Structure 1
Amino acid sequence: MLLPLPFPTALDYLAPEGAVSPGDLVQVPLGKRQETGCVWDRESDVPADFAPVPAREVARTRLKPISGKLDMPALPGDLRRFIAWLAAYTLTPPGLVLAMAIRARHTKPPRVVHGWVRGTEATEGLRMTEARQRVMAALGPHPATTASLAERAGVSDAVIRGLAAAGALREEVVTCDPLFGTPDPDFDRPRLSPEQGEAAHELSSAVREGGFATILLEGVTGSGKTEVYFEAVAQCLAQGRQCLVLLPEIALSTQWTDRFARRFGVQPALWHSELGGRKKRETWYAIAAGRAQVVVGARSALFLPFPALGLVIVDEEHESAFKQEEGVTYHGRDMAIVRARLAGIPVILVSATPSLETLTNVEAGRYRHVVLHGRHGAATLPRVALIDMRKAPPERGQFLSPALLGAMRETLARQDQAMLFLNRRGYAPLTLCRSCGHRMECPNCSAWLVEHRARQILTCHHCGHHEPLPHSCPSCAAEASLVPIGPGIERVHEEVRHHFPEARILVMASDTLGSPSATAEAVRQIAAREVDLIVGTQIVAKGWHFPDLTLVGVVDADLGLGGGDLRAAERTVQLLHQVGGRAGRAEKPGQVLLQSYLGDHPVMQALVSNDYQAFMAQEAAQRKPGFWPPYGRLAALIVSADTAEAADGLAGRIGARAPDLPGIQVLGPAPAPLAILRGRHRRRLLLRTRRNVAVQPILRNWLEGLKLTTHERVDIDIDPISFL
């Protein structure tokens, strides 16, 4: 029995012969309380090189019986194998992975709603008051709940109960309309170009033939990748199977679901953290019963109980948002491939700028490759140009160069739309005192506080700490001495408002768009031409399609290239390529202007030349000699404690027992770039091996027998992508 708790293995319980089967959800005693658990398999599809030590056998006389089986769908076998695989791979207690599949709200079946219809008893001998007559007149052919019937008839609940007691009303279950409609594969088939048609045929054939396969669908921005993989979805539906589509951000779901509804006639099922408890429970049951045929969701949708999964799609597969950084650490793209392999079905990875990991697997022949080379219809790729900020600097105290401002004026004069991009929230990333040099820092993290002028606060984007914007320096008490350093999105908005006072400006950032509905409204305004200028953070880089957007300006193209991040250059070129891809997606040609002080950097040259493949070949050449991913394996150990001394001591003990084996290197311990996070002091160690060496048994042996106090913690991140 596997419980959704941090136990190292499953637990043994007694059950009557034939009463339960693997995957069934049951109630079991644990100490003095009852817990929900899943009947678990003895064997699981876990590679031997990182499989955990099996649990010891327990005498039957010591076993407690299960309390009962829950009236809810069993977890499918491929999902159970996936949970076991992910737990072993990430060195996570399997119960914590199970918890992502059967959270408490899932184990409460949707509430059965009862209503009233006309009873079988005659009403001739019944005293029919005016109120009772109104109730009988308000009855329809379908059951009505007490509340709705009372409101319709204008009576109290007591009147309805009286009629029911007399037999004039009979109780029946209210049958609700299906939560999700049935998608029609032939509802509105698109007219595909010859290139799109060939790509769609290859994807659909993989679904029709069945079996596991990983396929990269690569295409320039605006090439119609979504319409192409929709044909694979249609093939999956035609076979009566379910389809899972993963998106990196919830914000993407609005425009995506609208496109889905136009193609298939109904909305898909959504799965993300913003769903309410009741909606999430109903959706979970609909998926488990096979009534939700297409699910689009965030990475957590991987843990849903699909009984007939036939296809998995990972859109924008290169996005770092697919990595779960807290709790159970895993990469959604990589685990989507595992889920598909364990289910024996195809998985399609989609991107205009594929990750180096994916391109390397294509080159090695492990993945199939389908490419769309041109934009759909009359659209052409935008022209990309650099603005050398050393030669064309902005006015003092401002951040937009005259060249960019001139292009914006020309764009607005043509009555086209323009967009400015800066991947930094707030007004300014740093506030300091010009009298004593004091910097406003977070009391819980080794990070600066970000000024949000609209709300008059300073906030930490790591732990959420915030405080009012002070009028004097907290160090030297100098009045009006605090000044903002550097631009944030609010500051750029302020500058744009100064230069274009008549323009209709929309700010798109996670601070201003706090929900999918707010994002949907922003998208509607842009598409309806109610907006002239869009000023946005990373959210504007997603797959939006705005036909009248012809100019994209990147305020600080160099942002993100600093620091020691292994993937800094790759991430920057991917992000800016995606941002630039918003321009010129219809008949009007587009232009992208990059403000940069590093015009000779390979990232800038790759963007101007639109030669992504050459850039990635250069990235590969730099990583191969040192066996950096994807040519080697990494695992990070993040040590944390309440004090710096305790963190140093624990990290030192771990470092002293580091493995000394051929082909293995341990870097550290060293302070993490965020040396203090949420009040905890952090140190990092990094294990690096060649690609053919499994890190799990090394880590297990390394940490075996390590004793931790209640104030100490060691987190393991297999295949890290963040080094903070």
Structure 2
Amino acid sequence: MPRIAAVLIPMPLPEPFDYAEPEGMGLEVGDQVAVPLGPRVMRGVVVSVRDGAGHNRPLKPVIEKLADPPLPASTLAFVQWAARYAVDAPAWPLAMALRGLRAPKPKPEKQLVLTGTQPARMTPARQRVLDAAQDHLAPPALAAAAGVSAGVIKGLVEEGVLELRLVETPAAFDPPDLGLPGATLNPSQRAAADALTGMIAEGGFQAALLDGVTGSGKTEVYLEAVAAVLAADPDAQVLVLLPEIALTQAVLARFEQRFGVAPAEWHSAVPPPRRRRTWEAVQANRCRIVVGARSALFLPFAHLKLIVVDEEHDASFKQEEGFIYQARDLAVARAHLEKAAIILASATPSLESLWNAQQGRYRWLKLNQRHGVAQMPDVSLIDLRETPPETGRWLSAPLVHAMIETLERGEQVLLFLNRRGYAPLVLCRACGERMTAPDTDSWLVEHRYTGRLVCHLTGFSMPKPDRCPHCGAQDSLVAVGPGVERVEEEARSLFPDARIAVFSSDTVESAEAARELVGAMEDGRIDILVATQAAAKGHNFPNLTLVGVVDADLGLRGGDLRAGERTFQLLAQASGRAGRKERPGRAMLQTYAPDHPVMQALAAQDRDAFIEAEMTARELSGLPPFGRLAAVIASGTDPVVLEDYVRALAAAVPNAEGVEVFGPADAPLALVRGRRRKRLLVRADRSVDLQAFLSAWRARVKVPSSVRAVFDVDPYSFL
């Protein structure tokens, strides 16, 4: 009897399309197929196969079952769940799950293989070659493995005993060595590690929040959980999610030290052929540990048993372009679907995770002390109203004096400013014109290293002009405010003999460059490191004893509901880089608002008081974690059409209790790449099915062809 295959195609389509299964094709869920879509042939994935009896409409047949590996059923279920959660087409997460197959296959390798012919004369050296040749090695590797000269290999090839072939080797990674000893844990770490291994032994979905102060050794604790998972099940796979590529290098080194082999990497800096090998190895369960960025969550794991989300509070886990999702939340969902364990680790957990721990949804494991003899740094506030920097300077006298003392002792300084480039604003002192990107409200940032003005929102870049484009005044463009390059310039003028480096995404453009800079800092080859948040978390610099925060108020500006939480998290993480070994550390925060609750909590190192106050404020307003938020961002080139659409959308809000809709209003960045932007904000009680509400609302108003409408569940950016 003919069967019907429902095929999901990575195109912006609302649902799978039905196709007839040709006789004898034998399709199964997860198979990758070629199907017709209009005049084109498209790749798709079979999501269901059903009996075609009673179907009275002719269907186009599946063209071909592709040789590429099928998607595991659990991965396919996760893709479909993620689409429903994000109120978006399932094609987008499916495209992410198939991303590894877009890369070209690695080139075949030259290998020597045995032909079955025996050598005319056997010698001990030749016997060693035959034994080693079982592993199909390249000529130099075979000679090294057998401990013979190239001449011995050449002689066996000439006799026909060995043959050189081009071989496509299956993607695989060396298995971890579970016999290697772990780190020596203190009693607090041991208790947390035992709790995690006990949780894992229970099996099924389990979630834990590993809440430890900076330097408490959280990585060593969750490494024990990783070892327990791998030891308990020879097929088990582990995924570790990290927010920064720079942080990946430090964690990879810890994994290699613990298990003897480096895990697979998955992030944008990995070359495409290596990404394909990783994808194939994960799907075939020839890769047991993956460390990667948020998109690694969509890899086709064959037997995923543990997910670790390190620095789980980090805002960069939120994907805000293309398919919009929060990787931390989707990681919990994937663990639940896979019946796996998940560990969320942070020194400054998100309020959402803390609330889940308080409600008993997560096991709450606390590490309240630093590992070994290290102590938490002393944190002090520098009131810039009383001790402002000199005109044209950004470092106050108390901070400069502390830097002098620190450098005289042979210790290191970190100057932290979460702002890239030289200056965040360039204006004309003749006419007041502020330089912005074309067709965009975003200011151009001066990058003095390259002599260019850059828009960090759109990527637009141009050489800095010598006259104002608006009024034509010569040499009138001036830099306003500091970026890390400007702070570095000031540090060099104050400390001309110091070894100074800048750590930001502009200066460290690859994983290798990040590894080199971190190594130089760890080895003491840098005296002053000027850095953005790229260096504010996860790194361990033994000789760093002073952290100076140049502009502690920066994150408090604007209307972001998480501004206080983010500022506390970021500055606590940055301050925590100081004094992580025997030498005591201190952090000095320059602020114009020393009485702000965030600054007071940081100075007192009273996280609990800050969390209690923030939770109370959120609960009174029904904001996350006590309520749900969603945003609708509509953009278009025609302002009249855009206005008509958002007004129609506002008028079509479904009747629902416990839901409030605000807007439409101009977005703070009202013009981006020539498109006008409007926003609506939805606040809902936790009892409301927000996804069902948004789906019903979206279906009520047709989107004009010139308008793009994005529905963002749990928004993190309010621009």
Q: TM-score, normalised by structure 1?
A: 0.90
Give distance in 2, aligned partners of 1:186 and 1:403.
Answer: 51
1:117-128 alignment runs, 5 A limit: none
Give distance in 1, aligned partners of 2:109 and 2:197.
Answer: 41
Give distance in 2, aligned partners of 1:521 and 1:122.
Answer: 50
Give distance in 2, aligned partners of 1:104 and 1:568.
Answer: 36
Query: Which position in structure 2 is the counterpart of 1:396?
Result: 391
Task: Note if 1:271 corresponds to 2:266.
Answer: yes
Query: Which position in structure 1 is the counterpart of 2:424?
Result: 429
Task: Note if 1:22 corresponds to 2:56.
Answer: no
Whether the 8 Å contact between 2:103 and 2:275 is mirrored in structure 1 is no
User: Which residue of 59, 62, 67 maps to 2:55?
Assistant: 59
Query: Which position in structure 1 is the counterpart of 2:290?
Result: 295
Task: Note if 1:212 corresponds to 2:201.
Answer: no
1:704 is paired with a residue whose SS is helix
Amino acid at match of 2:692: P
Distance 1:180 1:632, change over 3 A: same
Distance 1:625 1:171, change over 3 A: same
1:277-316 alignment runs, 5 A limit: 277-316=272-311
Give distance in 2, aligned partners of 1:603 and 1:536.
Answer: 21
User: Which residue of 559, 568, 576 maps to 2:563?
Assistant: 568
Task: Note if 1:189 corresponds to 2:182.
Answer: yes
User: Which residue of 666, 675, 693 maps to 2:670?
Assistant: 675
Task: Note if 1:102 corresponds to 2:98.
Answer: yes
Deviations 1:161-185 (A, max 9, x none): xx99x98985646485974221122
Query: Which position in structure 2 is the counterpart of 1:538?
Result: 533
Shift of 1:647: 2.2
Query: Which position in structure 2 is the counterpart of 1:6?
Result: 12
Unaligned runs of 5+ in 1: 44-55, 125-136
Distance 1:474 1:247, change over 3 A: same
Unaligned runs of 5+ in 2: 1-6, 121-128, 143-148
Whether the 8 Å contact between 2:662 and 2:680 is mirrored in structure 1 is yes
Shift of 1:115: 4.6
Distance 1:244 1:123, change over 3 A: closer
Amino acid at match of 1:218: D
Shift of 1:42: 7.2
Query: Which position in structure 2 is the counterpart of 1:633?
Result: 628
1:535 is paired with a residue whose SS is strand
Deviations 1:534-568 (A, max 9, x none): 00111111210011000000000000101110000
Give distance in 2, aligned partners of 1:341 and 1:419.
Answer: 40
Task: Note if 1:365 corresponds to 2:371.
Answer: no
Query: Which position in structure 2 is the counterpart of 1:36?
Result: 43
Task: Note if 1:685 corresponds to 2:692.
Answer: no
Query: Which position in structure 2 is the counterpart of 1:700?
Result: 695
Give distance in 1, aligned partners of 2:18 and 2:107.
Answer: 32
Task: Note if 1:717 corresponds to 2:712.
Answer: yes
Give distance in 1, aligned partners of 2:161 and 2:544.
Answer: 64
1:518 is paired with a residue whose SS is helix
Distance 1:176 1:21, change over 3 A: closer
Whether the 8 Å contact between 2:176 and 2:260 is mirrored in structure 1 is yes
Whether the 8 Å contact between 2:25 and 2:65 is mirrored in structure 1 is no
Distance 1:10 1:110, change over 3 A: farther
Query: Which position in structure 2 is the counterpart of 1:407?
Result: 402
Whether the 8 Å contact between 1:143 and 1:173 is mirrored in structure 2 is no
Whether the 8 Å contact between 1:72 and 1:109 is mirrored in structure 2 is no
* Stretch of structure 1 that moved more, 477-486 or 239-248: 477-486
Give distance in 1, aligned partners of 2:169 and 2:647.
Answer: 61
Amino acid at match of 2:252: T
Shift of 1:73: 2.9
Task: Note if 1:81 corresponds to 2:88.
Answer: no
Shift of 1:317: 0.5
Compute the RMSD of aligned alpha carbons: 2.9
* Stretch of structure 1 that moved more, 661-670 or 415-424: 661-670
Whether the 8 Å contact between 2:107 and 2:168 is mirrored in structure 1 is no
Distance 1:121 1:708, change over 3 A: same
Give distance in 2, aligned partners of 1:385 and 1:303.
Answer: 43
* Stretch of structure 1 that moved more, 671-680 or 25-34: 25-34
Whether the 8 Å contact between 1:143 and 1:174 is mirrored in structure 2 is no
Give distance in 1, aligned partners of 2:329 and 2:377.
Answer: 32
Query: Which position in structure 2 is the counterpart of 1:648?
Result: 643
Shift of 1:110: 5.6
User: Which residue of 236, 246, 249 maps to 1:251?
Assistant: 246
Shift of 1:447: 1.4
Shift of 1:146: 11
Whether the 8 Å contact between 2:216 and 2:371 is mirrored in structure 1 is yes
* Stretch of structure 1 that moved more, 674-683 or 586-595: 674-683
Give distance in 2, aligned partners of 1:608 and 1:644.
Answer: 48
Distance 1:120 1:186, change over 3 A: closer
Q: TM-score, normalised by structure 2?
A: 0.91
Shift of 1:574: 0.2
Amino acid at match of 2:179: D
Amino acid at match of 2:58: R
Shift of 1:365: 1.4
Distance 1:319 1:223, change over 3 A: same
Give distance in 1, aligned partners of 2:419 and 2:468.
Answer: 24
Give distance in 1, aligned partners of 2:682 and 2:19.
Answer: 39
Whether the 8 Å contact between 2:29 and 2:49 is mirrored in structure 1 is no
Whether the 8 Å contact between 1:72 and 1:107 is mirrored in structure 2 is no
- Identical pairs, percent: 48
Shift of 1:57: 11
Distance 1:203 1:145, change over 3 A: closer
Whether the 8 Å contact between 1:82 and 1:339 is mirrored in structure 2 is yes
Amino acid at match of 2:19: Y
Query: Which position in structure 2 is the counterpart of 1:447?
Result: 442
Amino acid at match of 2:182: R
Amino acid at match of 1:720: P
Give distance in 2, aligned partners of 1:628 and 1:70.
Answer: 47
Give distance in 2, aligned partners of 1:57 and 1:585.
Answer: 69
Amino acid at match of 1:71: A
2:313 is paired with a residue whose SS is coil
1:624 is paired with a residue whose SS is helix
Give distance in 2, aligned partners of 1:33 and 1:481.
Answer: 56
Give distance in 1, aligned partners of 2:502 and 2:92.
Answer: 39
Shift of 1:26: 2.1
Whether the 8 Å contact between 2:108 and 2:168 is mirrored in structure 1 is no
Shift of 1:228: 0.4
Query: Which position in structure 1 is the counterpart of 2:494?
Result: 499
Deviations 1:151-208 (A, max 9, x none): xx99xxxx9xxx99x9898564648597422112231321111111010000011112
Aligned residues: 692
Whether the 8 Å contact between 1:242 and 1:309 is mirrored in structure 2 is yes
Distance 1:184 1:78, change over 3 A: same
Amino acid at match of 1:517: E
Query: Which position in structure 2 is the counterpart of 1:46?
Result: none
Give distance in 2, aligned partners of 1:528 and 1:660.
Answer: 62
Whether the 8 Å contact between 1:444 and 1:463 is mirrored in structure 2 is no
Amino acid at match of 2:8: L
* Stretch of structure 1 that moved more, 203-212 or 172-181: 172-181
Whether the 8 Å contact between 1:220 and 1:374 is mirrored in structure 2 is yes
Amino acid at match of 1:8: P
Give distance in 2, aligned partners of 1:14 and 1:177.
Answer: 33
